[in-house]
Structure 1
Amino acid sequence: MQASIPSIIGQMIVFFIFVWFTMKFVWPPITKALEERRAKIAEGLAAAERGAASLKEASAKSDAELKAARAQAQDIIAAANKQATQMVEAAKGTAAAEADRIKASAQAEVASQVTQAKEALRKEVADLAVLGAARILKREVNAQAHADILQDLAGRI
């Protein structure tokens, strides 16, 4: 079981040739592939970090734009409410003016009708007075002849 020295030396030479061959031809492509893989992983991690930062920035921008949109919506609603209030107040003013005009017109018409009724009543009272006087005197009184007296009588009533 003794190994022969030339056999051990031959095995050592073959082993060194194998190590040299591996280091010269096998190891460089493996290390190159490992280095490329490491670079891709590092690049992927950097891209993920950039994406996370970009996502945070986009989220902050969207929050700011949402706040601005809400504020703008509140302003629009406030302006619409103010305009609606102004329109209601203007309509109230117009309605009040129209009501006053209608009221004044109605009062003028009532006054006119009252005047007409008074005139009609005066005429009727005058006619009744003449009729009463005619019955009392048992004779007919000439209304045309006594028109001044009847006008004076009607004016007093």
Structure 2
Amino acid sequence: MNLNATMLGQAISFVIFVWLCMKYVWPPLTALIDERQREIAEGLSQMDLAAKELELAKANGEQLMVEAKQSASNLVEQGNKRRNQIIDDAKLEGDTEKARIIAQGQSELESERNRLRQELRQEMSDLVSKARKN
């Protein structure tokens, strides 16, 4: 009987131990486990959201790079057009200035030619008058 009483006492002690664990130990442990599972689930959902935002940011970054390259090429093209326009304007202004200088030179040359003719006529008339007096 001694063996049965010991086994019965151990069984009752084990049942009381299990009941105490279920009453006082198990609920806080399950609460901690549930809270940890919830935190992990939130972390995973935040990670998925961050991954989606990263993909969106990459796509936006690539689009901005394409737009920036296009804008830069447009600016370069406008600069080249403006440079060519300035060169053409300078050539036109140079041609106009050249024509003005040539016209002024021809005018000065013609006036110098006329002055020299007048001087020659004057000298010729002076020589003719001197020759008649002699």
Amino acid at match of 2:73: Q
List aligned pairs for 1:6-155, cutoff 5 A: 6-135=5-134
Runs (5+) with no aligned partner, structure 1: 136-157
2:48 partner SS: helix
Query: Helix, strand or coil for the counterpart of 1:4?
Result: helix
Give the TM-score taking structure 2 as reference length: 0.88
If you compute each CA radius of gyration, which structure gives the higher value, 1 or 2? 1
Higher relative contact order (CA 8 A, sep 6+): 1
Partners in 2 of 1:20 and 1:125 — Cα distance? 152
Structure 2 residue identity aligned to 1:22: C
What is the percentage of aligned positions where both structures have the same residue?
Answer: 34
State the 1:23 CA deviation. Answer: 1.9
Normalising to structure 1: TM-score of the pair?
0.77
Alpha-carbon displacement from aligned partner over 1:44-66 (angstroms, at most 9, x marks no partner)? 11111211221121121012112
Amino acid of the structure 1 residue aligned with 2:114: T
Q: Which residue of 2 aligns with 1:148?
A: none
Moved more, 41-50 or 120-129: 120-129
Q: If each structure's helix is expressed as a fraction of its own residues, which one has the higher value?
A: 2
1:78-115 deviation per Cα after TM superposition (whole angstroms, max 9, x unaligned): 11221122122112212211221121121012111101
Q: How many Å separate the matches in 2 of 1:39 and 1:109?
A: 101
| Structure 1 segments (4+ residues) deviating >6 Å | none
